[in-house]
Amino acid sequence: ICCLDADDMIAESYFMTAMKLVAATPGVNLVYAKQQFFGEWRWQWVPPELQVDDAIVRGPLPVMTLFRRALWEGTPYGFDEALPKGHEDWAFWLQLTRLPLQHKRIDEFLTLYRYKKESKMRNRQRNNPEVPRLMRCLFPDLYPVRKLLIDHHVLLLPNGFTEAVQMDVSVSQHLHPHRAAPHLWVGMILEAKGDLSAAATAYSRSRVVAMPYDWQPTFRLWRVARRLGDAEVARECRDALVRLWGEDQLAWYSTDVDGPVVSYVDTAGKAPKVNASLQNSLLLWQDSR
């Protein structure tokens, strides 16, 4: 499979060169080439040999990378439509890092990418800086916990979500109710607005459908339950996080980026009254397990 945008180009020899390489190394399932940028800016990019860390930090391979159909079918979401405002290709490469890859780079400039100062991608980078943070929330198994907590912190700041992204997140939640991330994003939007009860409901929904390794909805529900005074739900969430990380690691992760340590009991050490709606959400989550 080769994904080619309408305004980009590939060299006439690209496919044949790739076929020869694959024929010589039958196990190869992903092939990419050096890339020439043209248009409003001209430069050359030599993609590094594919490493998981590179995909996490630096972003995707050239969009014209060739890959076997089995890789596309092996990813759960392909170009993930739940993600607001793009970065679907980056999310796709991150999904690929979970699969057994045998890749080869063609040491020729056979892919050509048109650079435009006012492209959709560059406008998104300027106008919707939260999108990469939302994308990282899709991969709690790949990104460090602390990195994602910093993303959460920034998203929860005033204007952490632009209005356009808020609208897209709402649509994503409607179209993908069985995905954890859209509910998580909605919860953060509501938490940032101070609607903690609605945020708790969204986090609970996210928790019901989250993968076992996805700690984010449990962590956010823990924080919100504390603020709502629901000691029982907060304690259950904290216990789940302790089972996942241990006491010492949770103490580290519970430190906000600006310093203060978050406790799961109130400052007086008393258990506040349980919130009924959160209690029902907790029972729903337990039943789903």
Note the maximum CA span of the chain.
Answer: 72
Which single residue is written with the structure tokens 């504390």? 226
Q: H-helix or E-strand containing 106?
A: strand 103-115
* 161 lies in the same domain as 248: yes
Quote the distance between the C-alpha of residue 168 and its chain's center.
15
For helices 216-228 and 231-245, what crossing angle results, to 10°?
Answer: 150
Q: Could you tell me if residue 274 is inside a domain? A: no
Q: Tell whether 278 is covered by a domain.
A: no
Looking at the structure, do residues 72 and 87 belong to the same domain, yes or no?
yes
Q: Quick check: is 62 in a domain?
A: yes
Q: Which residue has the tokens 């979500």?
A: 161
Q: Could you list the mean pLDDT of each consecutive 10-residue stretch along the chain, which spans 289 residues?
A: 90 95 91 92 85 71 90 91 84 89 92 78 63 93 92 92 93 95 97 96 97 96 94 95 92 68 44 45 47
Which residues lie closer than 8 Å to 248 by C-beta, 6 or more apart? none
My answer on whether 149 and 260 are in the same domain is: yes
Q: Note whether 80 and 182 are same-domain residues.
A: no
The answer as to whether 89 is a domain residue is yes
- The pLDDT, as a whole number, for residue 93 is 87
Residues 113 and 167 reside in one and the same domain: no
DSSP 29: -
Among 133, 131, 143, 134, smallest CA distance to 97 is for 143
User: Could you tell me how many helices (H) and strands (E) the chain has, helices first?
Assistant: 14, 5
Residues 137 and 251 in one domain: yes
CATH code of the domain in which 161 resides: 1.25.40.10
Q: Is residue 279 a part of any domain in this protein?
A: no
* 206-213 LR contacts (CB < 8 Å, sep 24+): 206/180, 206/181, 207/180, 207/281, 207/285, 208/284, 208/285, 208/288, 209/178, 209/179, 209/180, 209/183, 209/288, 210/180, 211/140, 211/141, 211/180, 213/140, 213/141
Q: Give the phi and the psi of residue 114 in degrees, each rounded to 5.
A: -80, 120
Q: Which two tokens stand for residue 87?
A: 């970065």
Domain span at residue 137? 129-266
Whether 72 is in a domain gets the answer yes
* pLDDT value, residue 265: 44
| Residue that terminates a domain, selected from 97, 123, 149 | 123
Total domains present in the chain: 2
- Specify whether 39 is located in the same domain as 87: yes
Same domain, 137 and 119: no
| Same domain, yes or no: 117 and 46 | yes
- From 123, 148, 176, the end of a domain falls on 123
DSSP 8-state secondary structure symbol assigned to residue 274: P
In sequence order, the 6+-apart residues with CB closer than 8 A to the CB of 52 are 97, 142
User: Residue 87 sits in a domain of what CATH number?
Assistant: 3.90.550.10
Whether the Cβ atoms of residue 183 and residue 206 lie closer than 8 Å to each other: yes
pLDDT of residue 40: 85
**150 in the same domain as 105:** no
Same-domain pairing of 172 and 66: no
- Residues 149, 204 within the same domain: yes
Domain membership of residue 280 (yes or no) is no
Count the Cβ atoms, other than its own, within 10 Å of residue 11. 16
Q: Which of 89, 123, 157 is the last residue of a domain?
A: 123
Instruction: Tell me how far apart the alpha carbons of residues 121 and 110 are, in angstroms, rounded to a whole number.
Output: 22
3-state secondary structure of 145: helix
At 235 the pLDDT is 94
Is the residue at 197 inside a domain? yes
